[in-house]
Structure 1
Amino acid sequence: MKNSIKLLPLTIALFASSASAANYAIEARGDAMGGVGVVSANFLTAPFYNPALTAIYRRNDDVGMITPSFGLAYSDEHNMVSDLNSASGLITEVAGGDYSNISQMSGILDDLTGDIAKLEIGGVVAFAIPNRFIAANVFGKAYAESFAQTDIWDGAASALPQAGINDAINAELSAVNAVSVGVTEVGISLAKYQTFLGHHIAFGVTPKLQRIYTFVYTANLDNYDITKVRENGTGETMLNFDAGFVWFRGPLRVGISATNLMKRDIKTDEIAGQTITSSIDGSQSRTIAPISYSYQMRPLYTVGAGLVADYATLSVDYDLNEEERYTNFDDNTQMLRVGGEIDIMRQLKLRAGWKRNLAYENLDDTITAGIGLSPLNLFQLDIGASYTNENSMGAYINFLTSY
């Protein structure tokens, strides 16, 4: 089936096939503040950042709920979707004997080399019961992250006389590889606050049950069958743990969190090898080896520090280690995040933040912003947004209540 490839529908389909999610927060307050939360989250959102914060709450907080939170982010920093559409159109023209625009192919392939795009989507729910004995928060989370990366071929050596014909053949023999991971989690965060030698501390642990899904897919630039995505998936169920600690004195807080302490390697399904033959010059072909990946779930350690006062918050989070996740795929992360919040009379909260992925040097920084509305303190609505560039944005929303 011939189609001009659209990357966004491709990644959305990968997500829909997994119906699931991964090891990140999807929470509008934190997302509006650059993703910080190791010391700045509250007792309701603590399981998604630092379980120790489950034990830090106001005296009048007896119970609280997130009902629910949703988030969606799409990143195409280097215009991969537009370039793929241009390449597909030119391949169709040249295959049909129209060489009028063939000179554009070389630049398009250069732009596509090494490009990657991704889609993130997910949601959470939580029910917290703070108390001075063992504070608890029961939660569920679903998150999916899909990546697509180009595999540009450069081995064409055609004897056809047309200028630029090799570039067109290279485009026809190039591919897009895609992977998707989804994780559903159900767990309970348990935490305890106490004083030790005059210091205020809290520590917590989160046992959780995870179902992890992986999908792998490959397609030519101008030919893919989206219905085959479901055929290349696998899933595993496992028990895992998070842990966290926070020290505070007045508004000053310092903390550390560790997520997914039980490591696991998950092998994706394998796509059989194939030979692609050019329709422009039938003597040109490319043999693609079988394709499979391994998804690595490893502990992630994040430190945080900040000032958390009644009407203002400023916080910084830093990942101590880099997450590789899919081996041989450019989806690594090691995040530095900064965020703040101003609370106006408990009715309106203004938030902003910044974050950077330190795993790669050529990625743009992301800025975030959002508001929180608490009409008469009956409930709270949080809205957040992120912006990396015109091709990379996100939106998030929370509904919270506490009594």
Structure 2
Amino acid sequence: MNKKLVALAVSLAPFTSFAANYSVDARIDAMGGAGTVASDYLAAGFHNPALVALEPHSSFGVLLPTLGVQYRDPDDLVDALEDFGDVYDRFQADATSETNRTDAANALSNLQNKVAYLSGGIGGAVAVPTNSISGNLFVKAYTEAVVLPEVSDSDITAIENSTTSAPTLTSEARVLAFGLVDVGLALAGNIEFMGQRIALGVTPKTQKLYTYHYQVSVEDFNVDDWDADNNRTEESAFNMDIGAAWQNGPVRIGFAAKNLIANDITTTNRWARQYTYELKPLMTVGSAYVTDLFTMALDIDLNEQTRFAQAAGPEIKDNTQMIRFGTEFNAWGWAQARAGYMLDLEDTLDGTLTLGLGLSPFNTVHLDLAAQLIDSNSYGGSLQLAMTF
């Protein structure tokens, strides 16, 4: 397990901060993130505000905390970046050594065309279902980052051809991070349409947006230095989510639109190159089959979700459009086993298997754990605690 990458992912969470759909919910994380209609009223603010009213006879509830972290580093990039500094130091100390020269050239070449992704989140909510207008007051904070080197072929050639001294490198490494804090009130009610009950919801919310841009020569990369204050920008904004959910027996169908007001935030002008994070609306449709003992859910993003863009430099492949599938087996309200799968239609992220467990004694205390299994060097996990009265 990459301890340095875990440290970076965890360090992202405290200043704001799990998922490509900006949700924070260990139960739904274990179900592949398919929460548009399968989530409950406690986490409705994270997925679909209409869900606050879908079960109007539910109890008053508190969700606190829910938190998670995920890292994807299939090529062990972060360790390779930090190890390169030591390799290059040895080469600088004795540039006449053929072994040092070969090690330095190979180590730099090994950084090419690699990228690591990280995310972390934390949140909480208080929900009050009623027969008229139900409400869910929530706060969630989310951060995601991309770690990427920009290796110059000329640097590799210069190392290979040097005989007396180490060349000055132009290759760079950078961390780009985005943070989002939402404080919102999800409000929902039910209407009758052609004999069917439909829950409609809206979430006005305030937002705080952050970016970090850490840039350094590739031989000086240090994972602990990314969050210096002069690497940060921040802005405040207002936004809104809307949602709808229809239920007929065990069948549910719904729709959610998050962040209806598009917002951009640009990274610091400290460096020659600036990046813009594009927070745009995300539209998702969902369906689910829900009974007391079994739930099966499917979510599909209707549009691509963009992230960092730049006017110059290599393109950053961080766009996603997800399909999420999940199941839950409920042992008479006392314990739950969950599994799911996430697939990225843009092929930015590898497919992800999700697993989880829940404990809910007396249907009062709810403890949920989730794990994400991606590859041998990419993992994720989340947990949450809730009380219903």
**TM-score of the aligned structures, taking structure 1 as reference length:** 0.86
Tell me the secondary structure at the aligned position of residue 44 of structure 1: helix
Which structure 2 residues correspond to residues 1-400 of structure 1 after superposition, within 5 A? 9=7, 15=12, 19-21=15-17, 24-57=22-55, 59=57, 61-97=58-94, 98-156=97-155, 158=158, 169=167, 172-224=169-221, 226=225, 229-272=228-271, 290-328=272-310, 329-360=316-347, 363-400=349-386
TM-aligned CA deviation for residue 186 of structure 1? 0.8
Tell me if structure 1 keeps the 8 A contact 2:104–2:159: no
**Cα shift at 1:160:** 7.9
Verify the 8 A CA contact 1:31 1:384 in the aligned structure 2.
yes
Once residues 353 and 51 of structure 2 are traced to their aligned partners in structure 1, the CA distance between those partners, rounded to angstroms, is 25
**CA deviation after TM superposition for structure 1 residue 83, in Å:** 2.5
Q: Please state how far the C-alpha of 1:74 moved relative to its aligned partner.
A: 1.5
Q: Give 3-state SS (helix, strand or coil) of 1:302's partner.
A: strand
Post-superposition Cα deviations, 1:68-100, rounded to whole Å, max 9, x if no partner, equal 111111211222123324433321221111431
Q: Could you say if the C-alpha distance between residues 125 and 7 of structure 1 is closer, same or farther in structure 2, counting changes exceeding 3 Å?
A: closer
Report the CA distance shift for 1:316/1:110 in structure 2 as closer, same or farther (over 3 A): farther
- SS, match of residue 217 in structure 1: strand
- AA matched with 1:43: Y
Q: Residue 39 of structure 1 contacts residue 253 of structure 1 at CA under 8 Å; is this kept in 2?
A: yes
Please tell me the residue identity of whatever aligns with 2:134.
Answer: A
Cα 1:348/1:102, change in 2 over 3 Å: same
Count of aligned pairs between the two proteins: 375
Which residue of 2 is the match for residue 3 of structure 1?
none
Contact residue 11 and residue 118 of structure 1 kept, 8 A: no
Q: Deviation at 1:45?
A: 0.7
Tell me, in whole angstroms, the C-alpha distance in 1 between the residues paired with 2:54 and 2:227: 48
Q: What SS does the aligned partner of 2:308 have?
A: coil
Aligned-residue CA RMSD (Å)? 2.5
Cα distance, 1:336 vs structure 2: 1.1
For structure 1, the 5+ residue unaligned runs are: 1-5, 273-289
**Cα distance, 1:107 vs. partner?**
4.7
Query: What is the distance in 2 between the residues matched to 1:189 and 1:47?
Result: 6
Distance 1:324 1:344, change over 3 A: same
Cα shift readout 1:323-348 (whole Å, capped 9, x = no counterpart): 11111433222111110001011101
Q: In terms of mean alpha carbon deviation, does 73-82 or 258-267 score higher?
A: 73-82
Encode CA deviations 1:22-54: one digit per residue, 9 max, x unaligned.
861111100011111001001111111111111
Contact 1:52 1:203 in 2 (8 A): yes
Greater CA drift, 246-255 or 348-357: 246-255
Residues in 1 aligned to 2:333 and 2:292: alpha-carbon distance in whole angstroms:
9
State the alpha-carbon separation in 1 of the partners of residues 50 and 160 from structure 2.
Answer: 68
Percentage of matched positions with identical amino acids: 34
8 Å contact 1:11–1:147 — kept in the other structure? no
Contact 2:91 2:101 in 1 (8 A): yes
Worse overlay, 96-105 or 124-133: 96-105
Quote the offset at 1:12 in angstroms.
Answer: 5.3
Aligned partners of 2:30 and 2:160: how far apart in 1? 55
How far residue 158 of structure 1 moved from its aligned partner, in angstroms, is 4.1
Assess if the C-alpha contact under 8 Å between 2:342 and 2:353 holds in 1.
yes
Q: Deviations over 1:279-321 (max 9, x none)?
A: xxxxxxxxxxx12111111100011112111211001111111
Distance in 1 of aligned mates of 2:366 and 2:336: 10
* Aligned AA (2:297): S
Query: Do the aligned partners of 1:212 and 1:235 also contact (CA within 8 Å) in 2?
Result: yes
Contact 2:177 2:211 in 1 (8 A): yes
Gaps of 5+ in 2: 311-315
Q: In the aligned structure 2, how far is the partner of 1:360 from the partner of 1:169?
A: 37
Q: Single out whichever of 345-354 and 103-112 deviates more from structure 2.
A: 103-112
* Preserved contact between residue 113 and residue 151 of structure 1 (Cα < 8 Å): yes
> Aligned to 2:126, what secondary structure does the other structure show?
strand
Report the more deviating stretch, 214-223 or 228-237.
228-237
- In 2, the alpha carbon distance for the partners of 1:197 and 1:227 equals 56
Q: Which amino acid aligns with 1:204?
A: G
Letter of the 1:388 counterpart: I
